[in-house]
Structure formats: C-alpha cells, structure tokens
C-alpha cells in the first residue's frame, strides 16, 4: 500500500485540476486579436454609395517580414483587370497582356510614389514592377487614353478587403493601440481616413465620402449589398 502523502503528490502532478501558471507574454510573441468594424460610403449629399473597392490596413510600424508575393494584373478587353489591385510593400506585380487579338498596350505611372514606364507590352509579353512605396499608384496606357487602373500598396500583411455589406475584420493584430487606414475607390476616385484603434477594438465605424456618386459600370456585379446594408442600419 502506497503512503497516502506520496499518492497525493503523484496525483497532483497529473491532475487536470492543477491551476495553470499564467503564461508570460514575451515581446517576441505579442498577444494578438481581431479588429473589426463597418465602413459606410456616401455621396456628397449623404446618400449611400457603393465603392468599386474598399480596403482596411494597419499603418503602424510592425516588425513583420515582407512576403514578396508575385501578383498579377491583366490587360484584357482594353482594360486593366482587376481595375483595383491591393499589394503589399515589396510585392512584384506582373502585367500580362492577354488580349485575344493583336493589341499592344503600355503601362505607366508618372509623378507618383511608384513611378515607372513599361514600354510596349504586346501579347504575350509581360512587364513587371516591384512596389516599394505605400500609397496609391494610378495606371494609364499611352495607347488607350481611356484605360485606367489603381494599385494600392499597403505596408504589411495586416489588411483586408471590406465585404459588400461594409463589414471588415483583420485577424491576428497585435493587441496595442494602432493606426488604421480605411480606403475606398468609387468610379476611379479614391478617398481615405486614418483612425486610431485600441487593442482588440470590434466597433470601428467609419464613414467615407465618395468624391462622386457611384457610376454603374459594365463589369459591375448585380449586387446592391452596400445600399441595402446602409439603408438597414
Ligand atoms: Cu492599352
């Protein structure tokens, strides 16, 4: 028969009822949580507008590794596809001419943070560019003046596209005060707002004004989710 004191000690070592020691928070493994909110976009008179694209990103200095992703934008049907592409600082964008007929394009972004001129970009040629500077780059084609596109470069991997109902959530955000940028583009016109958030904030409400009312485009999906969400709020 085991000594009762020894038996108790042996059980204590394996018992699930043993209180857990608090885990020390190491600076290298900072506690993270989700930050979420709702974006409302209106026109100048306050009526709901539906952006072509909206993104939320963390714009505070964080020691995150650049992912250096290879991203793709096509020149197809005499348009940049997608019209808006969000990339991370350090990503490489390959511009691929995928026209079915023999159409030559060009890509340029003048007088901007990410400045470049591609030269001719014939199918199946590709031009590529590393996006090193945070912010918007507006794309044009010198062979087709009506072609326009936008590349938004965000600082790190903590960013998310806003859903059609205006909601967004960024997961795994360091639990400390941070600066976010809420960005939208409606009918080629962007606008944005900076907001300071507390750790783990889940009620970040931002309203942005679209510089002009939303214009329905051929490529738009038949989707009125923005309007219906805003109207129901
Ligand atoms: Cu073109």
Question: What is the enclosing helix (H) or strand (E) of 189?
Answer: strand 189-197
Residue 172 lies in a domain: no
Count other Cβ atoms within 10 Å, centred on residue 1: 4
Write out pLDDT tens, residues 57-68: 999 999 899 999
Expressed as residue numbers, the domain containing 73 is 64-167
Residue 178 lies in a domain: no
How many Å lie between the centroid of ligand 1 and the Cα of residue 121?
9
CATH number of domain containing 158: 2.60.40.420
pTM here is 0.79
- Residue 230 CA to residue 166 CA, distance in Å, equals 8
Contact (CB, 8 A) for 131 and 89 = yes
Residue 107 lies in a domain: yes
How many Å lie between the centroid of ligand 1 and the Cα of residue 185?
21
> In the Cβ-directed half-sphere of 199, how many Cα atoms lie within 13 Å?
7
Instruction: Cis check for the bond before 124: say yes or no (omega within 30 of 0).
Output: yes
How many Å lie between the centroid of ligand 1 and the Cα of residue 145?
8
Residue 139 lies in a domain: yes
Residue 140 lies in a domain: yes
- Residue 199 CA to residue 110 CA, distance in Å, equals 38
Q: How many domains does the chain have?
A: 1
Write out pLDDT tens, residues 141-176: 999 999 999 999 999 999 999 999 999 999 999 999
How many Å lie between the centroid of ligand 1 and the Cα of residue 90?
26
- Residue 89 CA to residue 173 CA, distance in Å, equals 18
Write out pLDDT tens, residues 103-148: 999 999 977 778 889 988 888 788 999 999 999 999 999 999 999 9
Contact (CB, 8 A) for 71 and 93 = yes
């Amino acid at each position: 028969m085991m000594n009762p004191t020894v038996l108790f000690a042996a059980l204590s070592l394996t018992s699930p009822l043993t209180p857990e020691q608090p885990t020390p928070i190491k600076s290298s493994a900072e506690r993270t949580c989700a930050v979420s909110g709702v974006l409302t976009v209106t026109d100048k008179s306050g009526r709901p507008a539906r952006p072509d694209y909206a993104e939320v990103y963390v714009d505070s200095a964080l020691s995150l590794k650049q992912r250096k992703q290879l991203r793709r934008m096509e020149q197809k049907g005499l348009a940049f596809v997608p019209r808006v592409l969000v990339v991370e600082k350090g990503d490489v964008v390959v511009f691929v001419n995928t026209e079915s007929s023999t159409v030559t394009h060009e890509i340029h972004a003048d007088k901007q943070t990410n400045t470049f001129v591609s030269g001719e970009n014939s199918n199946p040629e590709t031009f590529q560019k590393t996006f090193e500077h945070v912010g918007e780059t507006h794309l044009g084609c010198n062979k087709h003046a009506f072609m326009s596109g936008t590349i938004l470069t965000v600082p790190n991997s903590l960013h998310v596209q806003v859903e059609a109902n205006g909601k967004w959530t960024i997961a795994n955000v360091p639990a400390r005060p941070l600066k976010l940028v809420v960005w939208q583009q409606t009918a080629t016109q962007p606008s944005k707002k900076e907001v300071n958030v507390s750790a783990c904030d889940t009620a970040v409400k931002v309203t942005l004004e679209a510089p002009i009312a939303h214009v329905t485009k051929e490529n738009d999906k038949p989707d009125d989710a923005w309007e219906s969400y805003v109207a129901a709020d």
